[in-house]
Amino acid sequence: MKRATYPARPPRERGTWRALALAVVMHALLAAFLFFGIHWKNSSPTGSEAELWTDTSVLAPTPPVPVAPAPVQPAPPPPPPEDADIALQQAKRKQIEQQQKEAALLAEQQRQAQLKLQQQEVARQKELADQQAALAKQKAARDAADKAAQAAALKQAQLEADKRKQQLEQQQQQQLAAQQRADQQKADQAKTDQQKAAKAKQEADAKAKAAADQARHARLAALQGAAGSGETTGTGAGTTGSATGGGGNGSPGYADKVRQRVKPNITFSGAVDGNPAAVVSVSCAPDGTILSARLSSSSGNQAWDDAVLRAVQASDPMPRDVDGKAPRSFQIRFRPKDIGMAG
């Protein structure tokens, strides 16, 4: 509520003009009454005389007691007619002035009462506005406190949610790490088992190979006994792209045939410095059956030598040459980087 810029004024009463008109009419009537009343009594009253007689026949027996006559006060002279009119007019005027003063005093009292009522109303309105402002301030403070409490509760809930999320993520990470460790352990165990199985297989293959070599030697001895002494036996050093065997040198393309047979069986995942060659000497029967295979020249890397020797043993039987027979003996050379060979 805005305060008034100007001082409070009494409200304008209704019927002011009507009351003013009635006052004018009453004053006019009063003036007429006074005018005609004064002119009606402007003549001085005439005096009258009367004689009093007493019946003396009744009072005859008792003589009258002489009574001293009372002094007669002279009657005041009647006021002049003009002074009486002036006095009456002054009395009327004083009465009218008194009435006007009383009316003005009454109006002032009413105005003061109205002003007091207005001041009381202004004070009441101000007090009411102050109460409303205090209530609004209290409500704003309560709303601010409620909002602050809600914000704090929301922040606390968010912190708890973040904490739970972080704990869940940590649990998931721990579970994932545990799963990875378990998987790694399983993989390591499987690798160990695979290596053990591969080693056992290699040992079994070696034993089987040894038994097969013995059987081939026996068959070879039997074949040599059946062939007689007419067949010549020779050995030669293998050179790049060629192989020699019983009865003469191998054809120029025999080395490629041997390479194509042995190369797919080489299994090696290690590392070798440089590109050294591992040379394997092979003895075969005419049908290509491997009678023996041994490392004649090491590469300096035992793993690579073993891989080459296993590949040669796994390539039994060797391919036959263009004459339908395999060379009796030849050498195969393998290098780790190009996995090439020369026979």
Structure confidence at residue 9 as a pLDDT band (50, 70, 90): low
Per mean pLDDT, which range of 19-23, 174-178, 234-238 is the poorest? 234-238
Instruction: Name the average pLDDT for the chain.
Output: 77
Structure confidence at residue 343 as a pLDDT band (50, 70, 90): very low
Q: Who has greater pLDDT, 323 or 11?
A: 323
What is the mean pLDDT of the segment spanning 262-270? 85
Which pairs from 17-21 meet CB under 8 Å and 24+ separation? none
pLDDT of 141 strictly over 80: yes
What is the mean pLDDT of the segment spanning 239-247? 35
pLDDT of 36 strictly over 70: yes
- Spatial contact of 217 and 291, defined as CB atoms under 8 Å apart: yes
Give the pLDDT of residue 96.
Answer: 92
pLDDT tens digits, one per residue of 212-224: 766 666 666 555 5
Adjacent-strand bridge partners of 334: 278, 341
Structure confidence at residue 270 as a pLDDT band (50, 70, 90): confident
In whole angstroms, what is the distance from residue 111 CA to residue 37 CA? 36
pLDDT tens digits, one per residue of 293-314: 999 988 888 888 999 899 999 9
Per mean pLDDT, which range of 85-99, 113-127, 220-234 is the poorest? 220-234
What is the mean pLDDT of the segment spanning 185-201? 85
- Spatial contact of 283 and 243, defined as CB atoms under 8 Å apart: no
Structure confidence at residue 321 as a pLDDT band (50, 70, 90): confident
Give the pLDDT of residue 342.
Answer: 39
Q: Who has greater pLDDT, 38 or 25?
A: 25
Give the pLDDT of residue 6.
Answer: 56
Per mean pLDDT, which range of 8-22, 77-91, 222-236 is the poorest? 222-236
In whole angstroms, what is the distance from residue 131 CA to residue 129 CA? 5
pLDDT of 118 strictly over 50: yes
What is the mean pLDDT of the segment spanning 165-172? 92
pLDDT of 57 strictly over 60: no
Half-sphere exposure of 171 (CA within 13 A, CB side): 6
- Percent of the chain predicted with pLDDT > 70: 69
Q: Which residues have a Cβ under 8 Å from the Cβ of 38 and sit 6 or more positions away?
A: 85, 88, 89
Structure confidence at residue 34 as a pLDDT band (50, 70, 90): confident
CATH topology of domain 254-339: 3.30.1150
Give the pLDDT of residue 237.
Answer: 30
**pTM of the full structure:** 0.32
**Strongest mean pLDDT among 38-47, 104-113, 196-205, 267-276:** 104-113
Residue 16 in tokens: 């002011």
The length of the chain, given as a count of residues: 343
Structure confidence at residue 200 as a pLDDT band (50, 70, 90): confident
Give the pLDDT of residue 49.
Answer: 63
- Spatial contact of 306 and 317, defined as CB atoms under 8 Å apart: no
pLDDT of 51 strictly over 70: no
Neighbour-count burial for 210-227, b at 16+ CB within 10 Å, e otherwise: eebbeebeeebeeeeeee
Give the pLDDT of residue 269.
Answer: 81
- Alpha helices, H only, the chain: 16-40, 81-227, 254-262, 302-314
- Spatial contact of 238 and 333, defined as CB atoms under 8 Å apart: yes
Give the pLDDT of residue 207.
Answer: 76
pLDDT of 88 strictly over 80: yes
pLDDT of 61 strictly over 80: no
Domain boundaries, the chain: 254-339
